[in-house]
Amino acid sequence: MRWEPKCSTLKAAMYEDFHATDRWSGEPLHCRWKANIVAIATRHADAVDIRFDVGGRPVWIAMPYLAWVEQKKRTNHTITDSLAAQAAGRYLKKAIESGYDYGREMYTMTIEEVLEQVDAVLHEAGHTSKLPYLVPSDDAQPQS
C-alpha cells in the first residue's frame, strides 16, 4: 500500500522528502527524513536529533529541547514530531541551497532558528493537522 500525504497540494511544500541543489557544486541532492531521536547527553546540550539521508549519506539536525519550551510559552502549542521533522528539513534545504558549509554530518540549530523554521512551516501548511505523516523506514539504522 502506498502512503499519500494528508493533503496532496502540500507535498511540494513539505520537507520530509525533497530535492535541493548544492549551491557550489550544482549537484542535485535527494533528501529524505529517516528518524527523530531524543538525545540526552551529560556533557552536551540536550536536543532532538533529526536524521536525514542526503544524497546517500546521513546528516543530523540537532534541535535544542528549549525550543519546545519556548514554543509552548509563545503559542500554548507544542512542536509535534512531524512539525520538528518538517522544520529541520526546511532548515537543511535552505542550508544546502545557500551553500552553508555543505558536507557537514551535523548541523546544530539555535532556539531562534528552530522557532523561525517552525513558524515558516506552519505558515506554509496552515496547521499541524495538514502536515504529511512521517512514515518510518526500516533503514534508519546507524551506519557501520
In a domain, 85, yes or no: yes
**pLDDT band at residue 136 using 50, 70 and 90 as cut-offs:** confident
Residue 35's pLDDT is: 92
In a domain, 67, yes or no: yes
Q: Which domain holds residue 39?
A: 9-130
C-alpha cell at 64: 535544542
From 78, 80, 87, 92, select the one nearest 119 (Cα to Cα): 87
Q: What is the pTM of this model?
A: 0.83
Residue 3's pLDDT is: 42
CA distances from 28 to 19, 22, 67, 91, 97 (A): 7, 6, 31, 17, 10
In a domain, 4, yes or no: no
Three-state SS at 97: helix
Residue 42's pLDDT is: 58
In a domain, 14, yes or no: yes
Three-state SS at 106: strand
- pLDDT over 90 (residue 92): yes
In a domain, 45, yes or no: yes
Q: What type of residue is 49?
A: D
In a domain, 20, yes or no: yes
In a domain, 144, yes or no: no
Three-state SS at 87: helix
Domain count, the chain: 1
CA distances from 55 to 19, 29, 77, 82, 127 (A): 9, 5, 34, 22, 30
Residue 12's pLDDT is: 47
In a domain, 89, yes or no: yes
